[in-house]
Amino acid sequence: MLRRLLDLALPPRCPGCGATVAGQGRFCTPCWSSLRFLAPPWCAACNLPFAHDRGEGACCAACLADPPAHAGVRAAVAYGAVARTVALRLKYGGRPFFAGTMAALMVRHVPPEASLLIPVPLHRGRLWSRGYNQAALIATALGRHAHLPVDLHALERHLATPPLRDRSARERRATVTGAFRVTTRGRSAIHGRSLVLIDDVYTSGATAEACVNVLRAGGAASVTILAWARVIEGASD
């Protein structure tokens, strides 16, 4: 009854465009239709989508040349206009409840062997100015959907770094090198476990891969990267 009264007073809005929809967290038909949901066939190592099925265990050229340290990069949708809007409204627009919308679409990509979710951390200065870590909100919501524990303090960003936008892939990697570390209590929490590293958007992979490297060095058995949206080079949207 309270939910119905609230919906009458504040009608549910589409996370993508703000149009009135039937329920909280639902997309309108045009926004839903414009989302590109990611799924196999994809590279067995990095989960980059393939245009056609190349067979079980097939890897992309990049992973054949340089096998990644992570156990895959999974995302609910490809980065596009609607996915970007939802991510920006969560990150900067004060819409923390959008984390639940993202998590509901990400949960299908949680690997069956996963035992712990860890969000990409913010430096404390950025956290104080923004008020929350969007990756932590997503991880917390995803933990409820997947019935998995979440550790918000196993990994920390102890060095502040400048924004990565407008930097080359090499510059991004150099910028975040050494910025992350596993905390003292985090070492026992991650030791021997299959982790899922949670973020909102996977772009070049520099930040996520820096986190993966320190988590693996800290004793994690494996680390799968899972994001709301992934930038796919050459995608029309």
* CA distance readout (Å), 156 to 60, 168, 186, 196: 31, 24, 9, 15
Digit-coded pLDDT (tens) for 113-149:
999 999 999 999 888 888 899 999 999 999 999 999 9
Tell whether 51 is covered by a domain: no
Residue 213 and residue 126 share a domain:
yes
Any idea what DSSP says for residue 46? T
Tell whether 62 is covered by a domain: no
Question: How many structural domains is the chain composed of?
Answer: 2
Name which residue leads in pLDDT, 1 or 127.
127
Residue 73 and residue 28 share a domain:
no
Tell whether 237 is covered by a domain: no
Residue 16 and residue 129 share a domain:
no
Residue 133 and residue 176 share a domain:
yes
Residue 7 and residue 95 share a domain:
no
Name the 3-class secondary structure at 156: strand
Residue 131 and residue 17 share a domain:
no
pTM of the full predicted structure? 0.92
Q: What is the pLDDT of residue 11?
A: 84
Token pair recorded at residue 159 = 């060095």
Tell whether 46 is covered by a domain: no
Q: What is the mean pLDDT of residues 172-181?
A: 90
Digit-coded pLDDT (tens) for 54-70:
999 999 999 999 999 99
pLDDT band at 236 (very low <50, low <70, confident <90, very high): very low
Proportion of the chain above pLDDT 90, given as a percent: 78
Residue 3 and residue 92 share a domain:
no
Burial 28-46 (b: 16+ CB within 10 A, else e): beebeebbbebeeebbbbb
Q: What are phi and psi of 151, to 5 degrees?
A: -115, 110
- Stretch (H or E) spanning 226: strand 222-230
pLDDT at 7 over 60: no
Strand extents, DSSP E, 79-221:
116-119, 155-157, 180-182, 194-202
Tell whether 61 is covered by a domain: no
CA separation for the pair 226, 83 (Å, rounded) = 15
pLDDT at 51 over 60: yes
CATH number of the domain bearing residue 123 = 3.40.50.2020
Token pair recorded at residue 178 = 């050494």
Digit-coded pLDDT (tens) for 183-208:
999 999 999 999 999 999 999 899 99
Tell whether 54 is covered by a domain: no
List the single range of 7-11, 22-26, 31-35, 108-112 with lowest mean pLDDT. Answer: 7-11
Tell whether 42 is covered by a domain: no
pLDDT band at 19 (very low <50, low <70, confident <90, very high): very high
* Domain region containing 153: 69-230
